[in-house]
């Protein structure tokens, strides 16, 4: 989940727009290569620490750890694909073939929306544990947590795999370089990409965001009640509040900017909104 404010569905503008917009975006290759290099080092380190904790030190296995383990798996898959992207942004040429491009794109979206959905599972689990501690005991089981994780993987893969394998590498005319998942035409946006964006944004971002906000508000309201404070103690309450703040900050900085940008970008490329015409 360290990656989610950077590269994805990008392309050069069509000729009729280029006449009005001559701004170059070549800076993105340097920026992305630096960002992904940093993400690779930090992500690899943190995921290795997480794997060590879950495999060697953590004795208690509950619903939350089930979601966390799946979150680490999702992140690790993306981190392992980063060296290919870093080389691509440095060389400005995809040298690894069409299939690895598809896999790289699929892993990008698997990580992003897998992270969002697993964090949503953690938020719902916390909501049930605090707001409905007694009624939720039959629901909050390791078996149900595993079923929820399987459902998340099915949803994520049903969106990310078609997204990655629907498109090929592209090569502009009179150029020896190949692009990976960028430089697609308006026709492709209207025929394929716009539908993919609607699906992944609705299932992978908008609905989870609403659930996270609702669960956080309900948990905060419950924690303000005197009986809740007496039941858990001030130290436990402060810990839960910190977890909620960190949870919402992850959403705000890692997911919201990218997904809002993607929605507007898709609307411009599909001619729902007008782009740069002045």
Residue that has been written with the tokens 């969002």 in this structure: 116
Kindly report the average pLDDT of the chain as a whole number: 79
pLDDT digits (tens, 9 = 90+) for 227-248: 665 555 554 777 788 888 888 8
Structure confidence at residue 210 as a pLDDT band (50, 70, 90): very high
User: Does the pLDDT value for residue 10 go beyond 60?
Assistant: no
* CB 68 within 8 Å of CB 54: yes
Q: pTM of the full predicted structure? A: 0.80
Backbone angles phi, psi at 179, to 5 degrees: -105, 145
- CATH homologous superfamily, domain 24-269: Rhodopsin 7-helix transmembrane proteins (1.20.1070.10)
Compute the distance between CA of residue 123 and CA of residue 143 in angstroms, rounded to an integer: 18
Say which residue, 88 or 230, is predicted with more confidence.
88
Backbone angles phi, psi at 170, to 5 degrees: -125, 150
Over range 155-168, report the average pLDDT. 79
Residue 205 in tokens: 């971002």
Residue 134 in tokens: 């007694």
Among the listed ranges 56-70, 146-160, 175-189, which one has the minimum average pLDDT value? 175-189
């Amino acid at each position: 989940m360290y990656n989610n404010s950077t590269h994805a569905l990008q392309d050069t503008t069509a000729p009729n727009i280029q006449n009005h917009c001559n701004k170059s975006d070549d800076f993105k290759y340097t920026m992305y290569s630096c960002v992904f290099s940093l993400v690779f080092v930090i992500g690899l380190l943190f995921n290795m620490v997480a794997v060590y904790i879950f495999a060697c030190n953590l004795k208690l296995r509950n619903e939350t750890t089930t979601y966390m383990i799946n979150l680490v798996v999702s992140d690790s898959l993306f981190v392992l694909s980063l060296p290919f992207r870093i080389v691509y942004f440095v060389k400005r040429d995809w040298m690894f073939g069409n299939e690895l491009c598809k896999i790289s794109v699929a892993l990008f979206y698997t990580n992003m929306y897998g992270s969002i959905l697993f964090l949503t599972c953690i938020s719902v689990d916390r909501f049930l544990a605090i707001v409905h501690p007694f009624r939720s005991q039959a629901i909050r089981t390791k078996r149900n947590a595993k079923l929820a994780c399987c459902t998340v993987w099915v949803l994520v893969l049903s969106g990310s795999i078609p997204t990655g394998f629907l498109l090929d590498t592209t090569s502009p005319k009179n150029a020896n370089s190949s692009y990976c998942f960028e430089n697609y035409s308006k026709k492709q946006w209207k025929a394929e990409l716009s539908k993919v964006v609607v699906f992944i944004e609705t299932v992978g971002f908008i609905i989870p965001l609403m659930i996270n906000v609702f669960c956080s508000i309900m948990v905060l309201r419950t924690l303000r009640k005197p009986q809740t404070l007496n039941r858990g103690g001030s130290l436990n309450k402060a810990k839960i509040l910190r977890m909620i703040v960190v949870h919402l900050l992850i959403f705000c900085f890692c997911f919201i900017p990218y997904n809002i940008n993607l929605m507007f970008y898709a609307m411009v490329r599909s001619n729902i909104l007008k782009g740069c015409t002045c």
